[in-house]
Amino acid sequence: MYHYDAATALEELNEEALLPHPVRVRDMMLRTQLPANDALELSREFQSYLNHFGETQKIARAILEKLAAGVPKNS
């Protein structure tokens, strides 16, 4: 459980996220037959998802690295 351990959260960031990984979303898209207009719109939305997913990981990584380098407070 990483709720209070930044180092563990940083490790788990690479392993698991609440949002599905973009590769899995892409695979889901490839396995679904959609009309051309819907497929094009979904592809555009996926590009946005991909960009936001990567940016969120960068921000979270920077925060967790700073927290992991800090000294925990005494309870």
Domains: count for the chain: 1
18-27 long-range contacts, CB within 8 A, separation 24+: 19/53, 21/53, 22/46, 22/49, 22/50, 22/53, 25/49
In this prediction, residue 2 carries a pLDDT of: 46
Residue 22's domain spans which residues?
A: 6-69
Query: pTM for this structure?
Result: 0.64
Residues 6-41 pLDDT 10s: 677 667 767 765 667 788 888 888 888 999 999 999
Residue 59 lies in a domain: yes
Residue 75 lies in a domain: no
Residue 74 lies in a domain: no
Residue 1 lies in a domain: no
Q: What is the dihedral of CA 15, 4, 50, 23, to 10 degrees?
A: 20
Count CB neighbours of 64 within 10 A.
20
Residue 28 lies in a domain: yes
Distance of CA 54 to the CA centre of its chain: 7
Q: What is the dihedral of CA 54, 59, 61, 62, to 10 degrees?
A: 140
